[in-house]
Structure 1
Amino acid sequence: MALDLANYKEQARDAIKAFWGNREAAARKQAETGNIDAGTRGAVTAGNNLNGFLALMQSLVRANGLHDAEIHVDKGLVVLPGYFRPNKQWDVVVMRGHRLVAALEFKSQVGSYGNNYNNRTEEAIGTAHCLWTAFREGALGDEPRPFLGWLMVVGDEKGSRSPVRTSEPHFKVFPEWRDASYIQRYDQLCQRLVKEGLYGAAALLATPLNSAETGAYAEFSALSGLEYFVTTFAAHIAAEASRPPPTPRSLL
């Protein structure tokens, strides 16, 4: 099966440029209006910082033959059922008729690493586990297993690169966690999300704070790299495109 990866490296650099450009524009707007959020919050309240990666995923869907897919990004159309809670909003939901083809989450963190790393980790694990349990219980119908993807963009700076002390009052942590930086922790998280089958792919991109012009980013392992993410996603899309479309509900 020949996959089209939609010139993903160039699109990823453009997405990183947009990420920093949107953050800077949001921060300027906050300053101009006099409505300043604490810390760096003002740079992220616009909510569109990762739209470049959404465009990349749209390109991969179209390039790999799934022309009848509906790619949803609006809040009202990215809601999927859960098991431990009624539902959850994803960032991107790809549908083909009533069949869920893929659900994607895009996250970012710049600064406040100690405050937010655990929240991001627990959210990533819980979101996938809740959906897979709902899938097992028939909430998505009798359809093939969808693709779940999780992509994380992290600021590449001293705060994310420095070793972090682990607390071990009763039991020892696994050695790979000891003195690991937040970037290393995110890399381990992405690898384990895939190894445990919670996501089809999970990518980590670390980008320096001065990358608005270059779109520079770093990757840290084959399993958490962007190539694995786009290749796995494209393969799932191509496989879906080779199947007959789902039977309309009215004919079931």
Structure 2
Amino acid sequence: MSIDLADYQIQAKEAVKAFWGNREAARRKQIESGKADQGERAGVTAGKNMDGFLALMKEIVRRNGLVDAEICLQRQLLTLPGYFRPTKLWDMLVMNHGRLVAAMELKSQVGPSFGNNFNNRTEEAIGTAVDLRTAYREGAFGESPRPFIGWLMLVEDCAASRTPVRDKSPHFSVFPEFSNASYADRYNILCRKLVQEQLYTTASVLLSPRSAVNSGEYTELSELTSLKTFVATLAGHAAAEAARSNG
């Protein structure tokens, strides 16, 4: 079974440019309106920062056989039932003949404050995956193959995300992989463990500096958590679903 990665590197660079460009445009718009948010929040409230990556995922799904699948990107179509809570709003869903093929979350974090945000993102990612997998086990999505569950994080590449961080745990030792690990490293560890524990089909972290608004530059930290692994896994899943549908 051949898969098509849709020139993902070119599209990813364009998505990175759009990410930083949209943040800056939102910040300027709020300043001009006289209603600017505090700190980095000014670049977040527009809500369109990761649209370039959503477009890439859509292209991957289409090119790998699901030309007629329903790719849900509008808010009113992005809700799935949960097990520990009634519903969960996703960033992208792929439906095919009433089957849930894929559910994806795309997140970002920009400095300078990474500590609390990292912990919040970690708890959200774990809770979201456990909720969906349990709902699937309990038949919330009917009798269908296990869906692709993807989590992608874009983190600002800067001194604050690259600097080693020390932790205090007065009663027991922290796991050694976290010792002096930067927040960039911690996101990489998180993504690796999310996949190894089978909470997500694949999870990726990309680092990108603010200067990438012109270059689209981004860095991957490991093969397992790379964008290539993410898109290749999604492509294979889409191709398998297409083969079942055309069977």
TM normalised by structure 1 equals 0.96
The superposition leaves residues 88-141 of structure 1 with CA deviations (integer Å, 9 ceiling, x where unpaired) of: 000000001210000000000001201200000000000010000010011110
Map of 1:103 onto structure 2:
103
Q: How many residues align?
A: 246
Map of 2:166 onto structure 1:
165
Distance in 2 of aligned mates of 1:75 and 1:63: 24
Map of 2:139 onto structure 1:
138
Map of 1:8 onto structure 2:
8
Matched letter for residue 21 of structure 2: G
Map of 2:34 onto structure 1:
34
Matched letter for residue 53 of structure 1: F
When the two chains are superposed, the root-mean-square deviation of aligned CA atoms in Å is 1.0
1:245 shift after superposition: 6.7
Percent identity over paired residues = 59
Distance in 2 of aligned mates of 1:68 and 1:210: 38
Map of 1:148 onto structure 2:
149
2:48 is the counterpart of 1:48: yes
Map of 1:249 onto structure 2:
none
Distance in 1 of aligned mates of 2:104 and 2:178: 27
Tell me if the contact between 1:97 and 1:245 (Cα under 8 Å) persists in the aligned partners.
no
Distance in 1 of aligned mates of 2:208 and 2:191: 17
Matched letter for residue 216 of structure 2: G
Tell me if the contact between 1:93 and 1:103 (Cα under 8 Å) persists in the aligned partners.
yes
TM normalised by structure 2 equals 0.98
Matched letter for residue 87 of structure 2: N
Segments of 4+ moved more than 4 angstroms:
none
Distance in 2 of aligned mates of 1:198 and 1:240: 20
2:82 is the counterpart of 1:65: no
Distance in 2 of aligned mates of 1:68 and 1:97: 9
Distance in 1 of aligned mates of 2:76 and 2:228: 30
2:204 is the counterpart of 1:177: no
The superposition leaves residues 34-67 of structure 1 with CA deviations (integer Å, 9 ceiling, x where unpaired) of: 1111111001100000000010011101110111
